[in-house]
Each structure stands twice: as C-alpha cells, then as structure tokens.
Structure 1
Amino acid sequence: MSLFKVCKLLLCVIACVVMGSAHATQIKVLSEIPKTSIVEVKQTFNLGDADTLAFARDQNLKNAKLAVAERFGSYIERITVVEKDSLTKDEIKSIAVAHVTLLSNKQRINSENGHVSLTSTINFEVDKAKIKESIADIKNGESLKLDLAKIKKEHQDLKSDYYKLSNNKIEDYADQLSKDLNAALVSSKMNFNDDELLDISKLHMRELKIKYFRCSTK
C-alpha cells in the first residue's frame, strides 16, 4: 500500500473518531386522532472527541424533527393525491415541518469502552388539521394566481378593444370632417386656393384632436 493511501486511511479513521455520527431514528405513534398525532422518536448520537453533549442534543432534535416531517410528508402526499391537489416537494416539507411541535425531550448518556453516546427520547405533536388548512391555503393561492392571470388577460383585451374603437372614432371624425368641409365649400361656393384650403384643414384637424382628447379622458 502506498504512503498516500495509508495517510488517506488514517485521516478517515481520525475523522470518524473526532466527528460524531447519528444512529437510525426509531419512530412510534403514541396516539392518533383525526386532528392530531402524538409521536415518540428515539434518536442516538455517537459523540466524537470534539463534540459536546449540547451539540449532540441539538443534532438529535434536528434529526428527530426531520424524520417526523418526512413521515408526515408522506401523509400529506396521500392527502394531495386523494384531493387531486398539486404541491411541490418543498411545499410538502414546509407544511410538515411547520406543524410539528416539540412536547418533551429526555436525554440518556451512554458510555461503553470509552465511547460516549447520547440517546434522546423526544415527543412531538403533529397537527393534521393545520396541515389540511395549509394545503387549502396553497390551493386557494394557486386559484388566486389563475384568477389574476385571467383578469390581466381580460384587461389587455379591453385595452386592445379600446384602441381599436379609438382608431375607428378617429376615422369617423376624419370622414365627418371631410364631409363638413365639402358641404361648407359647396354651400358658400367660395373658391380657395390650395394654401387657404390647407390652413382650414389644419384648423379642423386641431379641433378634431381636442374633441378626441376630451372624449378619451372621460
């Protein structure tokens, strides 16, 4: 075996001794009613040379709560399948963790052959009623998003219709203006040169714009 491999193996052994490790989690349901569940979790952490009991206790609590959340994450998935709701894995995890409440946390220190471990017996309450409420809230939130998208589309359609209507109004005003000019010329039998007729047209167009602006701002 090369020196490099020997050093690597020694480092792995040292790391295992110095760093702690968690044992498999044991979960037991103590009581089950429609609204809540009481769950007992036993979690053991093997302390390394650099670990403290406080660190081991925190790790046990985190691992236990995660295990309960994962268990009831499966429960949430079953609900969503039955009720045909669609939730992401992150949403399921967030719901499960949010409704797991710590009830008690008892510690037992174990020492054998120079190795120390900490076993935590932790009780949690899982609020299944709140879980269902959260699922409904997320579902309603998705419905609101769909409603908002629908409203925005309708708003865009209305704006489009308004612009079309506005353009039609301009064309109608232009047609009417042309008719008025022709009528005025015929009735007065006045002979205008090209420049005078252009000036009159500009004046009427200015009046048209003012009328249209007032109409569109009502």
Structure 2
Amino acid sequence: MASTSVSVAAFSGEQLAQAAFTAFSNVLNELDGAATRVWAFLPMITARDSDGLDRYMRMNVGRAQAYRAARWPMSFMPAGTCVGHAGDALVVHALAMPGNLRAIENARQLPAWQYSSKFGPSAPPFTRAVVSDHLLMASGTAAVVGEDVVHPNDIDAQWREALGHLAALRASAGARGRWRAVQIYVREKAHISIISRLAHHEFPDQCERVLHAPLCRDALLVEVEAVADV
C-alpha cells in the first residue's frame, strides 16, 4: 500500500491535472507491482472551471497519464473509488496485490474507461472490479447504467441499482463469499439514516462505515465498495 497527499484547493484546469499526475505517479511508483486497487479523495470534486470541466474530469486527465507512465505496466485499469471530501488536498491510496489478476466488468455498465467525451477529455480509468487470486475487490459502485445516472433524486432506487451491480460483479467473478468490508458513501446528510438502515438489513455484519461524501456526479446519491471471497 502506498499513499500521498497533494494540496490542490487553489488549482484548476491544467494545474489540477498536473497535480493529479504527480500524486498518482508518486503512489504508483512506490508500489512493488502494478496497482490493482486505488482510492482518491478530491476536494470540490464536481466544481466546474471556466472551460466547463469539473475537477473530477481534470483529475482523470492526470490519473490516466500517470497510469500510462507507471513504473509497473498495467495489463488493465485498477479498481477505483473517487469521492470528494472537505479538505484541501488530493489524497491517493494505491494497493498492489500479488497472484493471478483479472479484471471484472458489468454487462449493464459501459466500462468506465470507454465513456464518451461528455465525461471529459479522458475517460475515468478504472475497471468495475478486480480479482486477485481468491479475493474480489469491487470499485465504488453506483446507479449508472450504460454510462448515465439512473433514478435521479430517488435514494432507494439508486441503492437497489447499486446492489444489482454488485450482484452482477459477484456472478461474473464466480465469487462464493458474501460481500464484506463494505464502505458506503452518501451525498446528502439527510440520506445517511436511510442508507444506514438499508445497509444494516443488506449487510448486517459486513458494513464497516457509512460516510457523508460528495460523489463524482451531482446526480449520484450513494456509492458502495466491498470485497468478497472467490
């Protein structure tokens, strides 16, 4: 595991993309192998600049460049989570897992790295999940079908959609174990109690935390990540 933190609150546009390149390059080059799982926490994640691009889009430019230039060649994009936070730094954590690796996609979702240009000049470089030997690691999973958000303004429907995607990933990976180490990110404070109740029912002993965090699109209300034994 490698981690870094780069102050980006004052940056926008190409400055932010360059800062992201530096941050992701730093963690990737500290690893002992290719990254398989990456987390990023970006301040003001959906704020837009004078060119109409939001900060998540700008970060993806630098992230994709860092992945292409990484010390360890990547046979596929790592699994990923990126949400906002209230600080002023881009915080990145990366994990390299040993063993036999394979990427898992979801037939109901376009691979994120194939998204159209309406999501920025560089598509988000992550895969929906990664299997390392006997462990399935799901990316942050939300109510996106194809490449578009579904069920806007409906927290219950978005929750069900995310669970459906997680089930599809387990099936594709042939995972036998239940989801565990579940972490949930919720955009609106008013929805935290709702999601906490739903999570307790769905993951009675496996949910580690429910966090209040801005997500990478304004229309997304909830995002879930987890691991399962294969």
- Larger RCO, structure (CA 8 Å, separation 6 or more): 2
Task: Please state which structure has a larger fraction of its residues in strand.
Answer: 2
Bigger radius of gyration among the two: 1
State the TM bucket, normalised to the shorter chain. Answer: under 0.3
**What TM-score do you get using the length of structure 2 for normalisation?**
0.27
Task: Please state which structure has a larger fraction of its residues in helix.
Answer: 1
**What TM-score do you get using the length of structure 1 for normalisation?**
0.28
